[in-house]
Amino acid sequence: MEINIITVGSLKSAFLEPGINEFKKRLQNYCKLNFFEVAAEKIPKNPSPKDLELIREHEAEQIRDYLSARSYSFALDIKGKPMTSTGFARSLSNLQLRGYSSFNFIIGGATGLSSGLLAQVDYRISFSHMTFTHQMIRLILLEQVYRAFKINNNEPYHL
């Protein structure tokens, strides 16, 4: 199985790096994990809603370069559908049974994801009603992907 994490901007919070590296190491036994970072657009001072959507669309153009029609794409979106950890694990397992072996997880930048990209993905998922930084959600996502593998393999991490 291949897991692609596609993010806008680079990781700037050094305190998150050890946790992300730990889950990268743990996930080696379960999947091929790829990280793709696209450049974040500069946000002007006092941007209009139109400016923000143009920024999101430009970032989306870069994200689309990493999307494959053969992969199932999740967008992390606060307005997405919430899922429990066991529900998420079950979804990944069911998608594999349907023939998917590659999954994209898209994390937007400071302005979020464009409406066009959100309409294009297979599933919009929310990990919380709370808002997390786009950098912090990387760690949370990796932990949930790892938890899903443990659940699907009946291993004790999730108990």
**Do the annotations mark residue 128 as ligand-binding?**
yes
Measured CA to CA, the distance from residue 88 to residue 94 in angstroms comes to 10
Task: Establish whether 131 is an annotated binding residue.
Answer: yes
- β-partners of residue 7 are 37, 107
Residue 35 amino acid letter? F
Annotated binding-site residue? 33:
no
Which SS3 state, helix, strand or coil, does residue 74 take? strand
| Distance of alpha carbon 102 from alpha carbon 71, whole angstroms | 5
130 carries a ligand binding annotation:
yes
Alpha carbons 114 and 120: distance in angstroms, whole number: 10
127 carries a ligand binding annotation: yes
Dihedral, CA of residue 132, residue 50, residue 122 and residue 17, to nearest 10:
-30
Q: Is 36 annotated in some ligand binding site?
A: no
H-run or E-run covering 8: strand 2-8
| Binding residue positions | 76, 108, 127-132
| Binding residue positions for S-adenosyl-L-methionine | 76, 108, 127-132
